[in-house]
Chains A and B, each alone.
Chain A
Amino acid sequence: MELRVTERTDEELSIEIAGEDHTFMNVLKGSLLEHEHINAATYDINPEQSGGQTDPILTLKTDGSIEPIDALEEAAGDIRTKAADFKSAFEAAA
């Protein structure tokens, strides 16, 4: 997973996440929007045959109390917690 920051301020971050598609990006976006210090999060993917930029670009805005990159890290951590919780709940039922 290669990351490339395209825009960065104290409250805003645009970052390209190479090699990912809707499967992970939408989970990540959902997780970011649940974060209490994030005001906005979205991602954009261009179709494969459009030429040029086809890797997803994630954009997020915080309320200023947290560095956007740290918020991203926390969101990734939240996904891991969710995955672990889901797995244990699933294995308990299986």
Chain B
Amino acid sequence: MASDYDVEFVERTEREARILVRGITPAFANGIRRAMVADVPTLAIDTVRFIENSSVMFDEQLGLRLGLVPLTTPTPEEFGDDDVVTLSIDVEGPATAYSGDLVSSEPDLVKPADENVPIIQLKDDQRLEAEAEAVYDHGKNHAKHQGGVAVGYRHLQRVTVDGDLPEFEEEESQIVRGVIEDDGELIPTSEFGHDLTERYPGKDVTVEDVPNAFVFHVETDGSFAVEELVTRAVDSIDDRAAELEDAVQL
């Protein structure tokens, strides 16, 4: 069973991408999507020791907020699965404590992915001092460990022009979302306001799904780059298949 995949980047930035994959079955596509959301482990703060908290929020509330701060997550090879990173924070009011105030014990490997996530606003004489421990876990267990946000896919849609619309017919907008294929050219629908009548005025067009061609939209929370998320998701499926292979042989 030769599976012949063809991968192409339609849009691409560090944290967000649209990736076209041809020749993939719906089952495998969904497996990869689900693995990206729930099975790729990321680091997140899980335990907090409060040294001083004279802010208006309870320790528990701040604990949750600290947990939700995305942290850059190195590969498990660079960093053991059971390893723990300590991040400390010390902010005195009047000021706002931001994620960028977290000081990591491994600043080269693990640090907040964004500097500007507000944690709490401190007034005069209020102070937050705490030490937090970040651990690896899966999105399945807590949303703070989800590396992929807004991960999904759609069929690639092929648009063919059938001819002109009748002269006096009123044109109705035809909305499509995702990526269309026109004569082999890939166009994200955002380029023409998701409306086919903007791109093909006065034309009669048909839209059809291209079988087994899926456009993934992948966005990460900053824990790692898009490529890293996809590769780790595929690896997690591969690991489980290998595990099953071994288990069956016994």
User: Which residues of A approach B to under 8 Å, CB–CB?
Assistant: 1-3, 17, 20-24, 26-31, 34, 69, 72-73, 76-87, 89-94
Contacts and interface: CB of A to CB of B under 8 A. Distances in A.
Contact of B28 (A27, A69, A93): A27
B26 to A, nearest CB: 8
Nearest to A31: B27
Interface string B1-15: 101111111000000
Nearest to B250: A3
Interface of B: 1, 3-9, 19, 21, 24-28, 30-32, 34-35, 38-39, 140, 227, 230-231, 234-235, 237-238, 240-245, 247-249
Given A2-B247, A23-B34, A26-B27, A80 B241 contact: yes
A86 B234 contact: yes
A23 B39 contact: yes
Given A1-B240, A3-B248, A77-B245, A82 B3 contact: yes
Given A24-B237, A84-B238, A93-B8, 15 more contacts: A3-B247, A3-B248, A28-B241, A30-B28, A81-B3, A85-B4, A87-B231, A87-B235, A89-B7, A89-B21, A91-B231, A92-B7, A93-B7, A93-B19, A94-B227
23 contacts: A1-B240, A1-B244, A1-B247, A21-B140, A22-B34, A23-B34, A24-B237, A26-B30, A72-B244, A73-B245, A76-B245, A77-B245, A79-B237, A79-B241, A82-B3, A82-B28, A83-B241, A86-B5, A89-B6, A90-B19, A90-B230, A90-B234, A94-B9
Contacts of B24: 86
A77 B247 CA distance: 12
B137 to A, nearest CB: 15
A87 to B, nearest CB: 5
Most interface-central of A22, A76, A86 (chain B CB within 10 A)? A86
Contact of B27 (A3, A29, A84): A29
B15 to A, nearest CB: 15
A79 B249 contact: no
B3 A27 contact: no
A-B pairs with lowest CB-CB distance, top 9: A30-B27, A27-B31, A83-B238, A79-B241, A93-B7, A89-B5, A23-B34, A76-B245, A76-B244
Contact of B231 (A30, A73, A79, A90): A90
Contacts of A87: 231, 234-235, 238
A69 B248 contact: yes
Contacts of A89: 5-7, 21
Nearest to B230: A90
B7 A90 contact: yes
A24 B8 contact: no
Contacts of A21: 140
A65 B1 CA distance: 18
Contacts of A24: 31, 237, 240-241
Contacts of A92: 7
Given A23-B34, A86-B24, A34 B241 contact: no
A90 B31 CA distance: 16
Contacts of B243: 1
